[in-house]
Amino acid sequence: MAYEIYKTHDVNVSSRGVSANGECLMFGSSGFTTAPYGEYWKFMKKLLATKLLRPQAIEQSGGVRAEELERFYFNIHDKAMKKESFEMVKEAMKFTNNMICRMSMGRSCSEENGEAERVRELFTKSVALTTKILVAYMFRKPLEKLGISLFKKEIMGVSDRFDELLERILVEHEEKLEEHQDRDMMDLLLEAYRDEKAEYKITRNQIKSFFVDILIAGTDTSAQTTQWTMAEIINNPNILERLREEIDLVVGKTRLIQETDLPNLPYLQAVVKEGLRLHPSGPLLFRTFQESCEIKEYYIPEKTTLFVNVYAVMRDPNSWEDPDEFKPERFLACSKSEREDEISERALKYLPFGGGRRGCPGSDLGYIFLGTAIGMMVQCFDWRIKGEKVNLEETFEGVSLTMAHPLQKRKGSQVDFHLPPSPPSLPIIGHLHLLLSVLAHKAFQKISTKYGPLLHLRIFSFPIVLVSSASMAYEIYKTHDINVSTRGVSANGESLVLGFSGFSTAPYGDYWKFMKKLVVTKLLGPQAIERSGGIRAEELERFYFTILDKAATKESVEIGKEVMKLTNNMICRMSIGRSCSEENGEAERVMELIIKSLALVKKIFLADIFHKPLEKLGISLFNKEIMGVSRGFDELLERILVEHEEKLENHQDRDMMDLLLEAYRDEKAEYKITRKQIKSLFVEVFLGGTDTTAQAIEWTMAEIVNNPNILERLREEIDSIVGKTRLIQEMDLPNLPFLQAVMKEGLRLHPPIPLVVRTFAESCEINKFYISEKTKLVVNVYAVMRDPDSWEDPDKFKPERFLASSRSKREDEMREKALRYLPFGGGRRGCAGTNLGYIFIGTTIGTMVQCFDWGVKGEKVNMEEAISGMGMAMAHPLECIPVVRMDPSIINLH
């Protein structure tokens, strides 16, 4: 009977009829699947066949689907490693939704961008509303006479939110239409929308409705079918075994199944078809007879609603042998006329994607989704369930046939992406003892030397990947930079000290990207650095006079302490317009809070590591201490902010706070920053620019003092370029290659932050090793820059290694930095103040070498490291007695 209707009356039943909510984006008259049969529907059908879902378009988007299949695999693998149960339909829905979102509008619903996640939320609500929409449609006529519109408020509420969301995405695509190289469906529809010569002028509302149709039709139905088919496979071990043998024979065990494998896997195709036959995702199809007609001598009046029970059609005992049994072999052709038979069979009795001209245009894509997803799960995992059989009881939700008891299983991995090697660990705590060791970077370096440059560690049950070689660090930052561009969940996200509102610790997203752009173009751009040069010159002179006074009284100078004052004064004046040497209380308070924060750095790191296990016990490690310092910064910076706001119009020499307040007040800014984010940025500037720079200068001066030949060569270069009648200036630095080499060598041997910590946002593969999502990444910068495979005599202070021997200096330097030189971190999350750091270090060391001789107790400076936070401090602070070598009376000052 279904064949008779679709063969003889196809055009007559090619309309759905009048919707109860025609203006709704969900199942309204503007949607492609629900539109009346007419000019709009014919135009969209042609557009789908020739552009959106043509074979070439499907082939072009294959990379997207392959990436999402890998993500689906790693997601299951994560659960297998943790021995967690797996709810099939929920995870399959994420997989199909991600693929459809990326193919249609260029974003995955796993991205942390708000909008993509919003698509998934609205899709879920829409699926839950489908039954109500169907009921509203069936009862629209009698209720219309009573002035009642069933469920309208609820349906239109979701529709309006879809409209707002899709309008924003449309506008974003319109703005970037010219730049798009890999065009998605939305780009193609916008071309049709703008085409004045198009056969039909589509509207924005029709574009939005089309995307709602795709999301609902492509996501829920594919996920439900995947679940039903996997349930049947698990209930039939002989079918599972035969299917796995076919996949292993054709695909093998060293790679995942690919779309190109599907034509060579006839039994997998048969399994997919049999699953669709027994469990069609849309068991009931309804249309409307546009005109009166006669079927089998029966009269059918116009406007009659047609229901096709697809479920019954595909279990019709007159068409199917053993119709209720799962027998994939029924779809295996036994002759060369397979293709012809299949087409004939589909037309007659096989309707999983509907029938006639209103059949699903995405059926080919549906077979690809199902084939690769089911193929991968059979290929890569064994599946265990509670009890002997999966319960195949049905429930009816919306217009889909779903399982009353969702399929939940535990997995054992079949294709094994090995974890990186792991050194021996202690019971329960794992490798925690290494992290708590007095010098963690050295402890990590020692085990890496023995076990390898890429190691898998664990703290209790939480995984860490340790990277300790230049080649491995390069691989991470080159291939997985975005994936490791987030710090991860903070134990004290609300804190101004290393919390989520900070720039350096913020998750990778819109706020971080906006701040990166602001820092690079305004706060620390070349022009901004040049404008603030006078401030740094004044502070350098003040530093010079401080040492000069000590020399006159023959007092020793504690280098680290004095340099800390210098860098802090420079940072404070550049950022908030006041020096920490001023006697105004507030500036001195900044210094006090910085010292307290530095003492907390390791505690904050440990709080992050133990965040998850302690959270379950209601314990927040060091929270009182951390938040106490945070509140101190908050009160202080709020007062300074208010002061700057009151004087904003009068400021001629604008500091960083003035520039940030301008961005804060800018209504047209790409991102609306908050006062808290401004305060957090300044906390980071104080911490990142003060202590680390001071330590780098102290270590480098210690190396210079311990190597008189280097001191002499450096001094000769400075005297030759700068002379003895003025202090070194920033403009001199490009002409002092040996000074630059000394700086770099000091930073190589003594990086300010020896361990860089990030988080893998997604599962991935590195050097054939499997890394699960949320794994902490620890790059041992100290070990990377002492890697004997990359550096000759890695533990020796040899500045000449940074001197170029040819004109390709610039090229070599860039290559070297990318491969093995990471004093300021690597990738897009590397320190944004690198150039300023080199200026601070170069002018300070240059001044001390140019103007003074340095005497120390004993023959050599003690280079032992202190147990101090997460940085590298000297166990015995560098104390020297300065001796004047340039006559102060003839020096021309700034």
Q: What six digits make up the tokens of 546? A: 């401080």
Residue 10: Cβ within 10 Å count: 16
CA 602 to chain centre: 26
Sign of CA dihedral 292, 295, 299, 303: negative
Q: Return the structure tokens found at 632.
A: 């101190």
Cα 277 to Cα 794: distance, rounded to the nearest angstrom: 67
Q: Please list, in sequence order, all residues whose beta carbon lies within 8 angstroms of the beta carbon of residue 680, skipping any fewer than 6 positions away.
A: 496, 499, 501, 502, 503
DSSP state of 467: E
* Alpha-carbon span 759 to 197, nearest angstrom: 51
Which are the contacts of 436, defined by CB distance < 8 A and separation ≥ 6?
none
Tokens of 261: 């494998």
Pick the closest to residue 551 from 845, 880, 858, 878 (CA basis).
880
On whether the CB atoms of residues 252 and 231 are closer than 8 A, the answer is no
**68, two tokens:** 């999402």
Instruction: Decide: 552 and 545 in contact? Cβ < 8 Å.
Output: no
Q: Is 360 annotated as a binding residue?
A: yes
Residue 620 · residue 470 · CB < 8 Å: no
Distances (CA, A) of 769 to 258, 416, 419: 21, 9, 5
Q: How far apart are CA 634 and CA 162, in angstroms?
A: 39
Residue pair 302/313 in contact (Cβ under 8 Å)? The answer is no
Instruction: Report which of 263, 288, 219 is spatially closest to residue 17, judged by C-alpha positions.
Output: 288
Q: Which residues of 124-142 are buried (b: 16+ CB within 10 A; e: fewer)?
A: eebbebbeebbebbeebee
514: left (phi over 0), alpha (psi -120 to 50) or beta: alpha
For residue 304, the SS3 value is coil
Vertex 311, ends 307 and 313: CA angle to 5°?
80
How far CA 379 is from CA of 166, 257, 258, in Å, comes to 37, 8, 11
Q: Which structure tokens are listed for 185?
A: 């469906």
Instruction: Name the nearest CA neighbour of 767 among 475, 468, 416, 483.
Output: 475
3-state DSSP of 77-135: HHHHHHCCEEEHHHHHHHHHHHHHHHHHHCCCCCCCCCHHHHHHHHHHHHHHHHHHHHH
DSSP state of 541: H
Beta-ladder partners of 410: 85, 384
Residue 497, helix vs strand vs coil: coil
If you ran DSSP here, which 8-state letter would residue 715 be given? H
The structure tokens 């070990």 sit at 783
Query: How crowded is the C-beta side of 800, counted as CA atoms within 13 Å?
Result: 8
Number of helices (H), then strands (E), belonging to the chain: the values are 32, 18
Q: How many degrees, rounded to 5, is the angle at CA 355 between CA 21 and CA 264?
A: 125
The candidate with the shortest Cα–Cα distance to 184, out of 152, 207, 150, is 207
Which parts are annotated binding residues for heme?
A: 360
Which parts are annotated binding residues?
A: 360
